[in-house]
Structure 1
Amino acid sequence: MTQTAAKTVVVTGFGPFGNFSRNPSSDIVDLLEKEGIEGLNLVLRKISVVYSEVGETVPALWQEHKPDLVVHIGAHPVERTVKLEQQAFAHGYCRYDVNGSVPLNNSTCCATDVPSLITTIDCARVAQQVSEKLKLADVKLEKSEDPGRYLCGFSYFLSLNQDVGKALFIHVPAFDEKCTLETVASIVREGPEIVL
């Protein structure tokens, strides 16, 4: 019997910014580094909330690791809600990063003239299946059409520009007594299993 090679999944989280002195996406990356995801070759990275760093790091991860899936994780302010982002935008990145910079022309500068890219991953289906499997009661998991025009959307567009069928962005909230690190990390773990 031949064994198939483990699929490679790149997972990124972000550093602190704004009201997030500790970014929950970094906490998830730390937990995945300790626990892994069974059957997957995980490549984990934390990226500063800096356009230039994201612009270099995301394409390099695709080039170096040739991943089967890239999952970007970022923080958002909606309590007890995890969002699977369906699309990202090419332009409109005018909010300053933690270094006080914006990208040239407020754009991703990808060699494309489309205003947005949409993942072929069915985020509504993934959200429903993960919710049912984990029997989520205190945390809402849903599809979203707007990752924003900050580093989250910026990184996601760069990955979608590499392969719209192999990129996913998960927006996570701050943790609390009902929306724990472990609960949100379990959602992140289940996503690749359903997608792959």
Structure 2
Amino acid sequence: MVHVGVSGVAQAVTLEQCGKNVGYVVLDNARCCPGSHCCVEGGPECLHSRVNMEAVRDKVRAQGLELQLAVSDDAGRYLCDYTYYYSLYLSHGKATFVHVPPLDKPYSAELLGHALKLIVQAMLEQLDNVQESCL
């Protein structure tokens, strides 16, 4: 599963390495927040994607795109992080999350689309290499 979310403060395309379970205290747009302030009660504090985001970043950077790529271990304790953690929890680590800046701030839709295509291709190549090494 590949999730993509917009971060109003991002200046880079950010590959999120992990999702956090606790610390959800900000109300969403519907003015809701988990009463327990966590995603999965009794779940691990942090779950990591099986995809190595640093390797994905390096592979995409090698393509020479004119945009910043970053790796993060904190998706923000809001809807994106909540969604990512829950997806990681249900899929046993077989999920990813990419934060992008708002369109044209500073990247065009075309550039972001191309970058996301390269990111997904790099993720798939990484998974193909893992499956081949298991044969």
**What interval of TM-score do these two structures reach, taking the shorter chain for normalisation?**
0.7 to 0.9
Structure 1 vs Structure 2 CA RMSD: 1.7
CA distance in 1, matches of 2:74, 2:105: 27
Match of 2:2 among 55, 61, 71: 71
Deviations 1:2-37 (A, max 9, x none): xxxxxxxxxxxxxxxxxxxxxxxxxxxxxxxxxxxx
For residue 148 of structure 1, what is the aligned residue in structure 2?
Answer: 76
Aligned ranges 1:108-127 → 2 under 5 Å: 108-109=39-40, 112=43, 114-127=44-57
Take 1:164 and 1:194, find their aligned partners in 2: how far apart are those partners? 20
Give 2:65's aligned residue: 136
Per residue, is there more strand in 1 or in 2?
A: 1
Partners of 2:37 and 2:79 in 1: how far apart?
Answer: 12
> Aligned to 1:170, what secondary structure does the other structure show?
strand
The match for 2:118 is 190
User: Which SS does the other structure have where 1:120 is aligned?
Assistant: coil
Quick check: 1:110–1:161 contact (8 Å CA) kept in 2?
no
Higher relative contact order (CA 8 A, sep 6+): 2
C-alpha contact (below 8 Å) 1:87/1:145 kept by paired residues: yes
The residue that corresponds to 1:168 in the other structure is 96
Instruction: Identify if the C-alpha distance between structure 1 residues 79 and 101 changes in structure 2 by more than 3 Å, giving closer, same or farther.
Output: closer
Give the match for residue 82 of structure 1: 13
Matched residue of 2:81: which SS?
helix
- Structure 2: gaps (5+ residues): 125-135
Q: Deviations over 1:67-92 (max 9, x none)?
A: xxx11111113453100000110111
Could you list the per-position Cα deviations for residues 115-171 of structure 1 after superposition, in whole angstroms to 9, with x for gaps in the alignment? 1101121101101111222x122x101111110100000000011102244211000
C-alpha distance in 2 between matches for 1:179 and 1:168:
21
SS at match of 1:105: coil
In structure 1, stretches of 5+ residues that fail to align are: 1-69
Residue equivalent to 1:103: 34
- Cα distance, 1:191 vs structure 2: 2.1
% identity of equivalent residues: 30
State the SS of the aligned residue for 1:166.
coil
Distance of aligned partners of 1:177 and 1:157 in 2 relative to their CA distance in 1, 3 Å threshold:
closer
TM-score computed with the length of structure 2 as normaliser: 0.83
Following superposition, the deviation at residue 190 of structure 1 comes to 1.8
